[in-house]
Amino acid sequence: MDRLNILIVEDDVLTANDIQRTLEKAGHQVTAVARSFNEAVLAVKRQIPDVVLLDIMLLGSQDGIAVAREILLYKQLPIVVLTASTEEKTYQRVKDTFTPAGYITKPFNPLDLKRSVDLAWQNFRLEILSGAASTLQDSVFLPVEKGFEKIIKSDVKYIATQKGTHCVNIFEIYKKEPRLIQLSMGHLEQYFSLPNFYRLSRSLLVNLNYIERIEGGQIKIQDEKNLLTIPEAGRPELMRRLTVIRNPRK
């Protein structure tokens, strides 16, 4: 069995201690014990674990489901839910937010916990291996400065022509600044195709997966402060692709 680095997200001290002892006895290392949303997010950013053990009820206003959502935005990791709640609505909330690598109810059985962690890691590794080939299909090398840099197409939120030039800016998830690529939009578009990408205008290519809101003639892209204007000609097709459902009484 692999020696894993594991983050425990649990606000009950005694339970957290029991979990830590069980994991360390199995040969694993606990990277941190977090009791709240902020502590959990900081712990992941400080040291990325192999597996996350996550309680649902936590200190503060944000629960374990909010923690899972934030962690998965930062890094795809196997998350094993460990909760005292047996309510169906809690289970459904988890399923509606993310797919847990395991789901254990408290009080936990030490053997079940060890096996769940082991299976979560093994299944995650298999997913990585099976996705290795498809990763190449989701990537492209583009000219940056004097070389070529790999860009993951599914990480691209949108591409915009830099005003007054024949270059484009590529805006990617988790990156604060766009990449300047010395290619025209017309040439680049062929490498960012359907179904995710849509040419909204001559100067704008958007990834539909990152559109969070439509209001009036503008769209809100995930983690972007500035709204993007929807050209009148491109609006009907965009609404169709996004499956926008209107109120029939309006």
HEC secondary structure over 60-83: CCCCHHHHHHHHHHHCCCCEEEEE
Q: Quick one: pLDDT at residue 56?
A: 92
Question: Do 129 and 13 belong to one domain?
Answer: yes
So what's the pLDDT on residue 205? 93
Mean pLDDT of 12-41: 94
pLDDT in tens, 193-224: 767 898 888 899 999 999 999 988 899 999 88
**Residue 14 — very low, low, confident or very high, per pLDDT cuts 50/70/90?**
very high
Q: Does the model's pTM come out above 0.75? A: no
Asked if residue 163 and residue 42 are part of one domain, the reply reads: no
> What pLDDT score does 250 carry?
55
Distance of alpha carbon 146 from its chain centroid, rounded? 31
Domain co-membership, 195 together with 117? no
Cα distances (Å, whole numbers) of residue 132 to 2, 48, 126, 140, 193: 21, 20, 10, 14, 21
Mean pLDDT along residues 149-167: 90
The total of structural domains in the chain comes to 2
pLDDT at 248: 74
For 229, the domain range is 139-241
Q: Which CATH number is 63's domain given?
A: 3.40.50.2300
The reply to whether 100 falls in a domain is yes
Please indicate, yes or no, whether residues 130 and 144 belong to a single structural domain of this protein. Answer: no
Place of tokens 């060890």: 114
Helix or strand run (H / E) with residue 143: strand 139-144
pLDDT, tens only, 174-185: 888 999 998 888
